[in-house]
A and B are shown apart, each in its own frame.
Chain A
C-alpha cells in the first residue's frame, strides 16, 4: 500500500477553514466529498482535530487580580473630567435660564401692569407738568429749540429791529 500524497498548503488551508465552519455552499460540499473519498485528507482532518482537542488541556492564562482595578483607576480621571464638564454645562444652562427668567419677569410685569391698569393722570401729574400744560399749544407747534431759534430770524418771526 502506497503512502498517501501530502496535502498542499492550499488544500490544508481549505480543510482548516472547513473544520472552523468557514466554508459554505459548494466549497463545503466539495470538501465533504473530498473527505469521504480521499484518505489523506481524512487523515489530515483527524490529525488537526486531535491537535485542537489537546489545546483545551493547555493552561489558560488568567488576567491578574489588579488588572480590573488598574483599568478602572486609569478610567477614573477621564470619568471625573466628563462629570465636571457636564456639571459646568448644566450650571451654564441654569444661569442663562435664570437670567432669561429675570428678563421675562420684568417684561411681563411691566407690560402686564400697563395693559391691565391704564395710567390715568391725576393731581400729581398736573403739578409735575403744570408749566408744560400751560404752554402745551405753543410747545406742540415748536417741538425743538433749534426750530424755535430758527423762527426767531428777522425774515421769519424775529424782532425786525433787533438785528441789522
Chain B
C-alpha cells in the first residue's frame, strides 16, 4: 500500500510538469475571456455569409484579418478594447462620435504627407491630439478674412489665443443661427 502511494506521488511529481508543458503548448483562443458571446458570433456568422457573396469585400476582410494578426499582441488588444468601449456607449453618442471620426479620417487623408506622417508618428494620443489641434488652428486662421487674420497676427501670443477663442465662439453662434429654421415655421414635418 505504502509502495503504491510512493509510486502514485512520484508519477504526480514527475507528470505534473509534463502536463503543464502540454497545456502551455496547446493553442488557446486569444481574447476568448472577453470574446464575443454566442449571439454576437451568430450575428457575425450571418454577416460573413453576406460578405462572402461580395468577393471584393471578403478579400479585403481577409487582408485586414492577416494585417490585424500581424500586429503586436498589445496593439490587437488595444483595438479590441476600443471596439468594446465604443459599443458600450449609447446609440446617440456612438453616432456622433462616428461622424467625428469619419471627418477626422477624411481630413487626415487630405493632409500633406509630411503633416500626416507627423500625426501618425506621434508618441501617444496626447501628443497626437496636440499636433491635430495645432494644424486645425493654423488651417482655421488661414481661412479667416485677410483683415481679421492680419489683425490677429499683430497681437501678442496670449491675446491672440484669447481672440481666437472669441472668434470661434462667434463663428459657432453664427452657424447655430443659420441652422435654425426660419421663425414661424415648424422644423421637420
Across-interface contacts of B68 in A (CB, < 8 A):
121, 129, 132-133, 136
Rounded to whole angstroms, the CA-CA distance of A137 and B129 in the bound complex is 18
| B interface residue count range (under 10 / 10 to 19 / 20 to 34 / 35 or more) | 35 or more
Given contacts A105-B21, A121-B66, A159-B96, contact A143 B172 (CB under 8 A): no
Across-interface contacts of A161 in B (CB, < 8 A):
172, 175-176, 179
- A135 to B61, Cβ gap below 8 A? no
- The answer, yes or no, to whether A138 is at the interface (CB within 8 Å) is yes
Rounded to whole angstroms, the CA-CA distance of A104 and B142 in the bound complex is 62
**A97 vs chain B, min Cβ distance (A):** 10
- B179 to A142, Cβ gap below 8 A? no
Which residue from B44, B79, B85 sits with its C-beta under 8 Å from A140? B79
Across-interface contacts of B155 in A (CB, < 8 A):
none
Across-interface contacts of B175 in A (CB, < 8 A):
160-161
Question: How many CB-defined contacts (below 8 Å) exist between A and B?
Answer: 161
- The answer, yes or no, to whether A43 is at the interface (CB within 8 Å) is no
Which residue from B21, B80, B83, B103 sits with its C-beta under 8 Å from A157? B103
Rounded to whole angstroms, the CA-CA distance of A142 and B131 in the bound complex is 14
- Interface secondary structure of A, over-half rule: helix
| A interface residue count range (under 10 / 10 to 19 / 20 to 34 / 35 or more) | 35 or more
- B80 to A132, Cβ gap below 8 A? yes
**A89 vs chain B, min Cβ distance (A):** 18
- Interface secondary structure of B, over-half rule: helix
- The answer, yes or no, to whether A149 is at the interface (CB within 8 Å) is yes
- B18 to A105, Cβ gap below 8 A? yes
- B172 to A127, Cβ gap below 8 A? no
Given contacts A133-B65, A156-B136, contact A102 B17 (CB under 8 A): yes
- The answer, yes or no, to whether B152 is at the interface (CB within 8 Å) is no
Given contacts A132-B83, A163-B172, contact A143 B78 (CB under 8 A): yes
Rounded to whole angstroms, the CA-CA distance of A74 and B180 in the bound complex is 106
Within 25-73 of B, Cβ neighbours of A (below 8 Å) are at 25-27, 29, 31, 35-36, 41, 44-45, 47-48, 61-62, 64-69
